[in-house]
Amino acid sequence: MENLNSVCYVGTIGEVKSIEGADNIELTIVNGWNAITKKGEYTEGDLVVVATTDAVIPQKLSDELGVTSYLRKGQRVRTIKLRKVYSECLIIPIEFVPEKYRYDGSDCMELLEVFKYDPPVKMVQLSGGRKFKYHQNPNFKVYYKFPNQKNVPDMFNNEDEVVITRKLHGTNARYGIVRKKKLSLWDHVKVLFGNQWAAFEYVYGSHNVEKGSDSQGFYDTDVWKTVSDTYDIRGKLWAHVKDTYEPFNLTEGVVIYGEIYGVGIQKNYEYGLTDVKFVGFDVEVDSEYQPYINETVHFDCLQLPQVELLYQGNWNIEEQDKYVFGNFIEGTKVPHEGIVVKSVTGDRRKVSKVINPDYSIYSEKNNVGDSH
C-alpha cells in the first residue's frame, strides 16, 4: 500500500460469502475488511475503493452513493453487526476514481476528499498566561503511528515472534530526558565545568503536543503533568537515565510512551476506575525503538507499570483472535478496544493494531470519547 494508515484506498475483493438467512445481502471481504453489500453487486477479484471505519466521507459523495443516512455523526463510516456478521467499511465502486488510480493499494484519500477523523486540538496555556498550539523539541519524538492490521494483512507470518498486548482506550502520553533544543548561557557554563547533563532536559506531552519542559515551563494543570507527579516520572527518569547512560553516549535521549486512562479521560469508557492510571508500552533511545525485552527492563528499572502482556510467541491468527473477540473489561460487559501486535525486535515495520468490532459498535451506541 502507498499509505499504511490510509482510510480510503483501492483493494481487491478476496472473497464474497453468503450470509445465513439473508436473501438480498452478502459479505464482501477486501484484505481484512468486511462489508455487507447487495447480493450480486461484486465478485471475487473486483477492484474497489475501500473507506474504512472512521473515514469521513464528503456529503456530496455519500449522497451520490446513497449512503448518507447510514453514516454516523460527522459523516463517518461506522461498524455495524447484522445477522451475526460485522460490516466495518464502505465499498465504493472503482468507477469513482480515474483509471490511472485503479491499482491495488492506490491511496484515494486526497482524490476523493476523504480523511480520517481526529478530535480537534485545543489551544493550551502555560502558567504564565502564554498560549501556544505546538512546540516541539526535535529530540522529543511523536510516537510512531502504526497501521490497522486490516490494511496490512500480510504483515506477520508464522515465523514472526511477536508480543500481543492489550490496547487501552485513553490518551497517549510521552515523557523523556532529551537533549535541549538550545543551550542557555548558564547551560554552556555548566557543561564547560563538567556537568554534561545540563545539555539535557525533562519534557512531557501528549501524542502531538509538547506540554512542558524544564527549559520552557509547565502548564498549571493537565492530566499529563498530574500523572507525572503521581508516578514521580520526572524523578525516576532522571535517575534511570543517569544510572544507565553517559551523556556523551546519548545523541538525542530517552523517551517512554504510554497510555493514560480512567476517570475523565474518555467519555463513557473509564474501565470501572475511580482514578487515573498510566501504563507504558514503548521505549525509544536515540530514535531507536527498543526490543521488547529491553522495553521491559526499562519499565522495571523505572518502577512504572507496563501494558498487559497477553501472548508472546510465534504469530498465528487463531492465537491473535483469542484476544480480540469476546474480550471484556473485567467485571463488566463492556468490550475491550482491541490489541497491539508487534515484533519482539522493536522493528516499526512489524507493528499493527487490531480493533475489536464489538468495541466499535459499543463506542458509537454509548457515545464513547475519541482517542487523542
Beta bridge partners of 173: 258
Q: Are 57 and 90 in contact (CB under 8 A)?
A: yes
Provide the sign of the torsion angle of the four alpha carbons 214, 220, 224, 226, taken in this order.
positive
Q: Which helix (H) or strand (E) holds 185?
A: helix 185-192
Contact call for residues 148 and 351 (beta carbons, < 8 A): no
- Look up residue 123 and give its three cell numbers: 489551544
Distance, in Å, from the CA atom of 356 to the CA atom of 339, rounded to the nearest integer, reads 8
The 8-class DSSP code of residue 334 comes to P
15 with 29: CB under 8 angstroms? yes
CA gap 187, 200 in Å, rounded: 9
| Bridge partner residues of 115 (DSSP) | 56
Alpha carbon of 151 to those of 9, 185, 215, 316: distances in Å? Answer: 9, 50, 41, 17
Return the amino acid letter for 346. G
In 3D space, the residue among 281, 241, 242 whose CA is nearest the CA of residue 261 turns out to be 281
Other beta carbons within 10 angstroms of residue 32's beta carbon come to: 18
3-class DSSP state of 67? coil
Radius of gyration for the alpha carbons in the chain, expressed in angstroms and rounded: 23
What integer pLDDT is reported at residue 129 of this predicted model? 52
Q: Which residues contact 4 (CB under 8 A, 6 or more apart)?
A: 147, 151, 152
Assigned C-alpha cell, 180: 535541549
Total residues found in the chain within this entry? 372
Single-letter residue type at 56 = V
245's grid cell: 547512560
Query: Rounded distance, CA 90 to CA 50, Å?
Result: 6
Give me the DSSP letters along 253-286: EEEEEEEEEETTTSTT--TT-SSEEEEEEEEEET
pLDDT in tens, the chain (372 residues): 678 889 999 999 999 999 998 999 999 999 889 999 999 999 999 999 999 988 999 999 999 999 999 999 899 999 999 888 999 999 999 999 999 999 999 999 999 999 988 765 444 444 455 554 445 789 999 898 889 999 888 999 999 999 999 999 999 999 999 999 889 899 999 999 999 999 999 999 998 888 888 877 766 678 999 999 999 999 999 999 999 999 999 999 999 999 999 999 999 999 999 999 999 999 999 999 999 999 999 999 999 999 999 999 999 999 999 999 999 999 999 999 999 999 999 999 999 999 999 999 999 999 887 653
| SS3 category, 184 | coil
pTM of the model: 0.82
